[in-house]
Structure 1
């Protein structure tokens, strides 16, 4: 026997999240997800208060399933590998970069997954504020670099633009996706290494006492 017209279809949160990832993080809307699932638009609000609430839960799943690196790495390699992990997410989930930057809320899953990495960086000699700032810097640099790389790939296809007036921007690495990102990251990590070198003797002294 067919269900009566208008009868709400039973869904799970996982099914809705699957639909968002299939639709695309950067382009989905509540009506488009409802259409993909074959339900009325208003039915989604039985599960989520608004689109932002749905975004947070999608990002929560992504964070929990992300290929986080080992926490046993030296601090510099650790941060580099966290960066590579975020690049993987940007490549695997179209729209992840813009969504992560625009989202007003941080998912519980991200906080849960990132905490062991901040603690590991502390064991390597970073203060908690420096460890937290370092992870956030790498994350933000990947997200903005991913967005910028997409824009530059589009610009590169146009033949009506003048040559770059800024010499550094004429470097082919600027147009090679991660080349410019790695230059920025290396410069920042070089500066952080000097800070760690200053802090480590102080930390050792406090431990000895």
Structure 2
């Protein structure tokens, strides 16, 4: 028998050693995308490692801790979002910026909580906010008034998404908020003034984005009180 042909046979009495597959290849970018895939409401080093099929200790070669990984994930999500050019009057600038933020948070459940936690410092998100504020300066706002105007709309959109958010939810923040309010509506109505029941039912059962649009309009009307004429 040809010796070479039989060289791959296991030696009698010696157990076969399984061949190990090539370990998954990862880099900083693939880890960040995996974190986004896990979801901002459920990011842990262990969850991201399991998503990639690697040991969680591997992640520490690229990120010192969970907050650093989350910050990188926020940066990537913000960088890949669609942001309008700050054009037109101040109301259009704030309106378009706010709705772009709304779409970003709606597409990434849990992101609003991460941004509002103040535990991360996203350079990309800061740059987007800074551009909106400086656009207001260019339109004649004073420095403090420009910051105030941005804060008013920014805080409203964050609160709108975090009101019903729970860690690890599979549904979006805005959907969770709507679900909670609808679930409570039936029990709450008997204690509500009869004059308010129809309106409250309409608000709670209607599209959340429609109610947010009304809130935003009121805030913008308020900003008009100190906006440059």
TM-score bin, normalised by smaller chain: 0.7 to 0.9
- 39-48 vs 130-139, which moves further: 130-139
Which residue of the partner structure matches residue 195 of structure 1? 226
Shift of 1:159: 7.2
Please give the TM-score of this superposition, normalised by the length of structure 2: 0.74
Which residue of the partner structure matches residue 14 of structure 1? 29
- 105-114 vs 74-83, which moves further: 105-114
Shift of 1:58: 0.7
Structure 1 runs of 4+ with >3 Å offset: 1-4, 157-160, 166-169
Structure 1 position 32 matched with structure 2 position 47 = yes
Cα RMSD for the two superposed structures: 2.5
Please give the TM-score of this superposition, normalised by the length of structure 1: 0.81
Q: Is there any run of 5+ residues in structure 2 with no aligned partner, and where?
A: 1-18, 164-173
Structure 1 position 89 matched with structure 2 position 104 = yes
Given that 2:32 and 2:73 are in contact with CA atoms closer than 8 Å, whether structure 1 keeps it comes out as: yes
- 34-43 vs 133-142, which moves further: 133-142
Which structure: larger Rg?
A: 2
Which residue, 118, 141, 144 being the options, matches 1:126?
141
- 82-91 vs 95-104, which moves further: 95-104
Which residue, 141, 145, 161 being the options, matches 2:187?
161
Q: Is there any run of 5+ residues in structure 1 with no aligned partner, and where?
A: 201-209
Given that 1:25 and 1:93 are in contact with CA atoms closer than 8 Å, whether structure 2 keeps it comes out as: yes
| 1:149-188 to 2 correspondences below 5 Å | 149=174, 150-157=176-183, 161-163=187-189, 165=192, 167=196, 170=200, 172-175=202-205, 176-188=207-219
